[in-house]
Chain A
Amino acid sequence: MAYLKIEELSVSHKNRVAISGLNLEANKGEIIGFVGADGAGKSSALNAIAGVIKFDAKITFDNVVYTNPKESQKLKPVMGYMPQGIGLVLYDTLSVAEHLDFFADIRDLKKDLAFEEYKKRLLSMSGLSAFLDRQAGDLSGGMMQKLSLICTMLHRPSLLILDEPTTGVDPLSRLELWDILKQNAKEYDMVALISTAYMQEAQKMDRVLLFDEGKVISEVNDKSVSLENLFFENAKKNNKLLPTINISPAKNALKKNEVVMNAKKITKKFGAFIANEKVDIQLKSSEILGLLGANGAGKTTFIKMLLGLLKIDEGELYLLNKKISSANDRKELKSKIGYVSQHFALYDDMSVRENMLFFASMHKIDAKKSVELINKYSMELGFNDYLDKMPKDLPIGINQRFSLATAILHEPIILFLDEPTSGVDVIARAQFWKLLKELKEKMGMAILITTHYMSEAEFCDRVVLLKDGKKVADDSVENFYERFANAKNFEEIFLEFYK
């Protein structure tokens, strides 16, 4: 009999069926991927298997049967579950080391040599060894994600359930994570169920279940099949592509290639730790600048300084050739910049329309004009059908468009996007990039974007690489390829800098 057997799994939220008729068998050592558009039911399925939500099914693992969360209790000691969401399971004021102790204690782990060895390995994979004393709330987004991950794996579960574990995790750590996963699967006969938005990653799994509309529509175990194509074809067939985008040209678009923002030797320190060291960056109109770097390289910190959300410790900042020095300048700065943060900062208890009205009033846009703008953008960005929904009920791709629309309501000339595509499905991501291109071309915006999808670097005009808070490269994508002639894709180029 199979090690893990799931029979007829279904989950409903209130009256909506989130997933139904899921059947799955897995053997010792198998890693199984869950992929599918956002809202296809992957998380519900994983929640159910982890026994943290009501469900209907008969699940057998290692000859133990459970049909509801209560019965799953007996398997909790051997299960590991990481829910979706950045830093969800972390306590902001506890340090990295305290987290590991806490999880070892609640899992009742023996702290023997083998444990210490394994812990060390997890820490080095996550790059957190040097930050044992840092509180979780002060970690970068990707570092939080990795800390959650190693806390989940600390007790070497034999049934490991991870919901989009690599969202916001840099390519280097992703590679090392996969090493550990594969090794655990082999050595400890672990079964892992992992959902992911990275098709490349899905390609590494033993088998992949493709989800759509609460059903598993196919199971792929042939590695030569391109999941990405499968994904697109299915979406096309079901008419599931998101509404198209059509932005009208701005009347007063900026001149092309004009330097709109110039940051000179910018430094940021947190105590003795230097998060950014003498970073120079120029933003030009009609240009998309990709800001890349491993987790904790200082991308978010840098953006926050340019935005005026964090104090600049050293260095100078110019907006349209004017030096930013007074409080008034900073106000002016904010009115010229749009920003979508790494953790979407939208209000969950207000509808899309109310959210937008709220942000419009914060920017002192008068009521009539805000209504006009909201109508215009919701039409052009294709989310007008969703205006009266709550943000949490939207597909993530739509959520992302509306966050973007909210960020450009006040007609900024510069747009900062901090990992806008993390955890977003392939299709929504592709369309998001089309949208950015339109903004760049029709409105002449200068766009600064961070991402951990190296394939997206190719859509940028220029790429800046940060490493340990310092700028290590700043060039056009073509020049990067010229410099590393052997590289097959941008990920390989990226990894060159971290060798």
Chain B
Amino acid sequence: MRFRVIKAYFVKELFELVRTKIIIMPYLLPIMIVVLFGFGIRMQVTGARILIIDNDHSKISTMLTQKFQHSKYFNTRVSNESEADALREIKKANVDAIIIIPPSFEKNVLKNVKSELGIFIDASFPSRANTLETYIGGTVLNLANEMNMKSGVISLNNRNLFNQALRDEEMIVPGLLGLVLFVAPAILTALIIAKEKEKGTIFNFYSSSVSKLEFLMAKLSAVFALHSLNVFILFLLVVYLFDLPFRGNFFLYWLSSEIYILVSLGLGLLISILVSTQILAVVLTLMLTILPAFLYSGILMPISSMSAEAYVIAHVYPVMYYNHIVYDVFLVGNGFESTKIIEYLLLLTLYAVGFFLLGLLLLKKELKS
């Protein structure tokens, strides 16, 4: 491997990308997808599923329950089950929030003694959880005003819960990272190799002593460098624009994302070997990445509830593994202590290496005849 050759191709690639303005693509596309989809989801807080456990059975507690039942924001159910049972329902993603009314609620309120409502909110989607919290608070305040209570008599003891069971399921914003970092690097890789075939400049590779390894290293490293920046841009976007917490290990986030980008590069490389025009490269890459990344990543449908075939496909696509890690670093924070994460990280590395080696093997330094 000669560094000079790789550098020459690398620099040429960047010049071309900048001068043809294609350089915008690796940044615009991911940001657009994350912002569009991310915000699309943020708005929908109607019909939140609320479970009310009324331990007081008084007039005021019934009034409060009715307030919730009449609101279009909530889809309210009242039950007598134990707190533990109710919490299990949150874990199964059957309810979004639980409100627990304490036994002597009415008595305390009438005596102007401070009384506390217990509230548990599913915080898998933090922005949604925030909104829910505000709505619940607003509804309670509304009742307090109607009854001319002194302010501060009813307080909310609010706790956010993280759903272990939701792991591979509805985790949209982190899931979007898994989508864009799968789609964008693959497209660019397929594009810049197919372009050489379409134009004829691939002859410079065919007819010189540039080795297959040098050629691939140069092409892939250019795309890799551009997308590595995206790892940080997307991080800032998710944490600051969507207010997601970041509970995990940044190094794990960075490492897994870079490996994941390599997987995507490898896929783009394989596609570029099949096609010989840019348009085909883009179409085929989109077909092979966007749809599956949506369908099988757990964004639309929980993987555990998929049909047998779909379940297998979801496990074949690398998207799921990365999504799991991203979910962990943002929302949970098990990090390197989780063996599953280590396992997934190794799996992703295996994908990256496998795709690259396969590409290296299949790439021919000759025309298709």
**Interface residues in chain A, defined as those with a beta carbon under 8 Å from any beta carbon in chain B:** 11-14, 47, 50-54, 69-70, 73, 76-77, 79-81, 83, 85, 88-94, 98, 101-103, 105-108, 135
Please determine whether A53 and B369 come into contact, CB atoms closer than 8 angstroms. Answer: yes
Given A13-B369, A47-B367, A102-B8, the answer on whether A89 and B15 have CB atoms closer than 8 Å is: no
Q: Determine whether the beta carbon of B203 is less than 8 Å from that of A89.
A: yes
Complex: how many Å from CA A54 to CA B368? 8
Check B201 for interface membership: any CB of A closer than 8 A.
yes
Contact of A93 with B15 in the complex, beta carbons under 8 Å: yes
Do B367 and A98 touch (CB < 8 A)? no
Q: How distant is the Cα of A72 from the Cα of B19 in the complex, in angstroms?
A: 35
Interface: B114 (CB within 8 A): no
Bound Cα distance from A90 to B7, whole angstroms: 18
Does the CB pair B203–A81 fall under 8 Å? yes
Contact indicator B15/A108 (Cβ below 8 Å)? no
Q: How far is the CB of B189 from chain A (nearest CB, A)?
A: 18
- Bound: A437/B200 CA distance, A: 36
B134 at the interface (CB under 8 A from A): no
User: How distant is the Cα of A88 from the Cα of B203 in the complex, in angstroms?
Assistant: 8
On whether the beta carbons of A53 and B367 are closer than 8 Å, the reply is yes
Contact pick for A79, options B5, B19, B199, B207, CB 8 Å: B207
Given known A52-B366, A77-B209, A94-B12, contact A108–B203 (CB-CB < 8 A): no
**Cα–Cα, bound, A76→B205 (Å):** 10
Contact of B209 among A47, A91, A107 (CB under 8 A): A107
Min CB distance, B166 to chain A, in Å? 48
Q: Which of A53, A76, A135 lies in contact with B208, CB distance below 8 A?
A: A76
Once bound together, how far apart are the Cα atoms of A80 and B209, in whole Å? 10
Sampled A-B contacts (5; CB under 8 Å): A50-B206, A88-B199, A88-B200, A103-B204, A135-B19
Interface size on B, residues (CB 8 A): 26
CA distance A83 to B366 in the complex (A): 13
User: Does B369 lie within 8 Å of A54, measured CB to CB?
Assistant: yes
What 5 pairs across the A-B complex have the smallest Cβ distances?
A: A105-B8, A88-B200, A93-B19, A81-B207, A76-B209
Residues of A contacting B203 in the complex (Cβ-Cβ under 8 angstroms): 52, 81, 83, 88-89
User: Which residues of the other chain, A, contact B369 by a CB distance below 8 angstroms?
Assistant: 11-14, 53-54
Partner of A106, one of B15, B199, B208: B208
CB of B9 closer than 8 Å to a CB of A: yes
- A83 contact set on B, CB distance < 8 A: 200, 203, 207
Least Cβ–Cβ distance between A443 and chain B, in angstroms: 37
Distance of A258 from chain B, by nearest CB (Å)? 44
Residues of A within 8 A of B365 (CB): 52, 69-70, 73
List residues of chain B with CB within 8 A of the CB of A106.
5, 8-9, 204, 208, 210
User: Given A88-B200, A89-B203, A93-B15, list of 19 further CB < 8 A pairs?
Assistant: A51-B207, A51-B366, A52-B206, A53-B366, A53-B367, A69-B364, A76-B207, A77-B209, A80-B207, A81-B203, A83-B200, A88-B201, A89-B200, A94-B16, A101-B8, A102-B12, A105-B5, A106-B9, A108-B4
Q: A52-B207, A76-B209 are in contact. Are A108 and B2 (CB under 8 A)?
A: yes
A11 to B368, CA, bound (A): 12
**Residue in chain A with minimal CB distance to B5:** A106
Residues of B with C-beta under 8 A to A135: 19
Q: Is the CB of A107 within 8 A of B208?
A: yes
Per the bound structure, the CA–CA distance linking A219 and B16 in Å amounts to 45
- Judged by a CB distance under 8 angstroms, whether B339 is at the interface is no
In B1-59, the 8 Å CB interface with A consists of 2, 4-5, 7-9, 12, 15-16, 19-20
Q: Which residues of A contact B4 (CB under 8 A)?
A: 105, 108
Chain A hits for B12, CB < 8 A: 91, 94, 98, 102
A residues within 8 A CB of B210?
106
Give chain A nearest CB distance to B119 CB in angstroms: 60
A107 to B4, CA, bound (A): 9
Roughly how many angstroms separate A77 CA and B2 CA in the complex, as a whole number? 14
Q: Are B201 and A90 in contact, CB atoms less than 8 angstroms apart? A: yes
Chain A nearest CB, measured from B129 CB (Å): 49
Contact yes or no, A50 B19, CB < 8 A: no
B23 to chain A, nearest CB (A): 12
| Alpha-carbon separation in the docked complex, A53 to B365 (Å) | 9
Question: Which residues of B174-221 are within 8 A (CB) of A?
Answer: 199-201, 203-204, 206-210
Closest to A107 in B: B208
Kindly list chain B residues whose C-beta atoms are within 8 Å of the C-beta of A88: 199-201, 203
Contacts of A50 in B (CB 8 A): 206-207
Least CB distance, B366 to chain A, in whole angstroms: 4
Contact B200 A85 (CB under 8 A): yes
Smallest CB–CB gap between B71 and chain A, Å? 59
Q: Among the interface residues A12, A14, A51, A135, which one has the most CB atoms of the partner chain B within 10 A?
A: A51
What distance in Å separates the Cβ of B339 from its nearest Cβ neighbour in chain A? 44
Chain B residues within an 8 Å CB radius of A90: 201
Alpha-carbon distance between A77 and B207 when the two chains are bound, in angstroms: 9
Residue of B nearest to A83 (CB): B203
Contact B367 A52 (CB under 8 A): yes
- Give the docked Cα–Cα distance between A77 and B206 (Å): 12
Most chain B CB atoms below 10 A, which of A69, A98, A105:
A105
Give, as a whole number of angstroms, the nearest-CB distance from B89 to chain A.
Answer: 58
In the complex, what distance in Å separates the CA atom of A102 from the CA atom of B208?
12
What CA separation (Å) do A13 and B9 show in the bound complex?
31
Quote the shortest CB–CB distance from A235 to chain B (angstroms).
27
Q: Which residues between 353 and 368 of chain B lie within 8 Å of chain A, taking CB atoms?
A: 364-367
| Complex alpha-carbon distance, A135 and B20, angstroms | 12
A69 to B19, CA, bound (A): 34
B317, chain A: closest CB distance, angstroms: 32
- A202 to chain B minimum Cβ distance, whole angstroms, is 23
**From B16, B208, B364, residue with most partner A Cβ within 10 Å:** B208
- Chain A's nearest CB lies how many Å from the CB of B127? 43
Closest to A44 in B: B369
Residues of A within 8 A of B209 (CB): 73, 76-77, 107-108
The interface residues of chain B lying within 8 Å CB-to-CB of A94 are: 12, 15-16
Cα–Cα, bound, A79→B208 (Å) = 7
CB of A105 within 8 A of CB of B7, answer yes
In the bound complex, residues from chain A placing their C-beta under 8 Å from that of B367 are 47, 52-53
